[in-house]
Structure 1
Amino acid sequence: MRSEIHHPHRDVTGGWLRPAVFGAMDGLVSNFALIAGVAGGQAGQRVVLLAGLAGLAAGAFSMAAGEYISVASQSELAEAEIEVERLELARHPRAEQRELAEVFEGRGVEPELAAEVARQLSRDPEEALRVHAREELGVAPGELPSPLLAAFSSFLAFATGAVLPVLPYLAGASSLWPAAVVAGLGLFLAGVLVSRVTARSWWFSGLRQLAFGGAAAAITYGVGALIGTSGL
C-alpha cells in the first residue's frame, strides 16, 4: 500500500500575519515620518512628542473607523446577495439545481454525476444555499468577517507601529536620532516578518522596508526643515 504524499505549503493568504504586520508598518512609517517632519522644522521636544501622540491617536482611530465601515459595508452587501440567493432557491429550486449542476460540469464533472451531486446537495436548503453562495459569491453564510474585530485589530496594529518612534521622546530624548534608531529597527523587523508570507529572503525584505520607510521620513524631514527655515 502506497503511503500518502503530503506537500506542505506556506499560507499564501497571509492569514492574520499579513494585515497585522502591514497595519503596524503603516503606523510606524506614517508616524515616524510625521515626527521627522516636525523635528525637521526645529520644533522643541514637547512639540514633537505632542505631534507623535496626536498622529498615533488620529491614525489609529481613523484606521479603525475606516476598517469598520469597509468590512461592515462588504458584509451587508454579501448578506443582501445571500438573501437574494435564498429567495431564488425557494422560488425556483429546479432552476437553481440545474445551475449548480452546470457549475460542476464546468469543472470537468460528467453531466450525469454533476446532476446527481446537485440533486443530493439541494435536498438540504441550507447546504444548497452555502454551496451556491460559495460558488457564485465566494462567501458562506455565517462566516462573514466581523466589523468590530477588524476595527479593533486595525487599531491595535497601527498603534503598535506608531508608538515605536514616540517611545524615545516619552523617555526624555530631545533629538530625532533615538527615534530614528528605534524606527529603523522596527522597520527592519517588520520587513523580516513580511518575508514569512513572501518568497523573498529575510534580509532583503528587512532592508527594503527600511529603505522605503527611511526615504519617507527623509522627505518629510526635508519638507519640515524647508518650512521651518523659511518662516512659513
Structure 2
Amino acid sequence: MTGRAEIHHQHRDVTGGWLRPSVFGAMDGLVSNFALIAGVAGGTPDAKVVLLAGGAGLAAGAFSMAGGEYVSVASQRELALAEIAVERRELQRNPEAEQDELAQALVDKGVLPETAAEVAAQISRDPERALEVHSQNELGVDPHSLPSPRLAAVSSFLSFAAGALLPLVPYLLGATSLVLSAVVSCVSLFAAGALVSTVTARSWWFSGLRQLLVGALAAALTFALGNLIGASGL
C-alpha cells in the first residue's frame, strides 16, 4: 500500500458563488423580459415601443439583479467572517477547551475516543488548520472559500442580460411582430432548461419542458393582460 489514497471520482463545486446567480439570472432574464415584451406587444402593435420596453427591462433587471446579489452575498460573507473571528478568539483564549470540543465532535462522528483525542491534538498544533476545521464543523463554512460578492454580482448581471437579450434579438433585427420573438424565446427556454439538467439529477427533456412551460405560461398571461389593457384604451 502507498501512503496516498487513490481518488476514484470527483465532485463538481456545489458551494461556489457563481453557479446559482448565473443560472438564476439567465432564467429570470429570459422569462421576465419575454413576458414583458409579450405584455407590451399585446397592448400595442408599435415595434419601437416593444423594443424600448424590452431594452429598459433588460437594463433595469440586470442592474437590479447585480445589486441585490452583491448585497446578499456580501452580507452572508460578513456574517461568516464575524463568526469565524469569534471562533479564532476562542481558539486563542481557550485552546484546551476547543481541542476537547473538536475531539468530542470526532467521537460523535464515530471515531474512537483515543483516536479522536490524538487527531484533535495534531490538528490543534496548527492554529490556522484548527480554525478551518472548527469553522467547518461548527459553522459549515471554509474560511478560505467564502463566496465573492463581486463574482456573484458580475455573474448575475451578465447572465440576466444574456437571457433578457434573447427575446429582443428579433426586434433588433427588424421584426415587427411578437411571433419571431416568441419562437426564439421558447426555443431558448427549452435549451436553457436542458442545459441546467447537466448540473442536476433531472433528465434534459424534463428540465427543458418544465422551463418552457413556466416561461410560456408567464408570457401568455402577460400578453393577455396587455391585450386587455390595450383594448380598453387605458
Band the TM-score falls in, shorter-chain normalisation: over 0.9
The structural deviation recorded for 1:43 is 4.3
Alignment of 1:70-109 (within 5 A): 70-109=72-111
Rounded to whole Å, the distance in 1 between the matches of 2:15 and 2:88 is 32
Rounded to whole Å, the distance in 1 between the matches of 2:23 and 2:15 is 10
Aligned to 1:58: 60
3-state SS of 2:145 partner: coil
Q: CA separation of 1:139/1:212 partners in 2, compared to 1, >3 Å: closer, same or farther?
A: same
Rounded to whole Å, the distance in 2 between the matches of 1:230 and 1:49 is 22
Alignment of 1:1-232 (within 5 A): 6=8, 8=9, 11=12, 13=14, 19-232=21-234
3-state SS of 2:158 partner: helix
TM-score calculated relative to the size of structure 2: 0.92
Rounded to whole Å, the distance in 2 between the matches of 1:140 and 1:203 is 36
Q: Deviations over 1:195-222 (max 9, x none)?
A: 2123332222212211111000000000
The answer to whether the 8 A contact 2:66-2:157 is kept is: yes
The structural deviation recorded for 1:19 is 4.1
The answer to whether the 8 A contact 2:51-2:171 is kept is: yes
The answer to whether the 8 A contact 2:21-2:69 is kept is: no
The structural deviation recorded for 1:5 is 8.8
3-state SS of 1:187 partner: helix
Rounded to whole Å, the distance in 2 between the matches of 1:173 and 1:129 is 59
Unaligned runs of 5+ residues in structure 2 are none
Unaligned runs of 5+ residues in structure 1 are none
The answer to whether the 8 A contact 1:32-1:162 is kept is: yes
Give the paired residue count: 229
> Could you say what the CA RMSD is over the residues aligned between the two structures, in angstroms?
1.8
- What percent of counterpart residues are identical? 69
Q: Which moved more, 1:67-76 or 1:35-44?
A: 35-44
TM-score calculated relative to the size of structure 1: 0.93
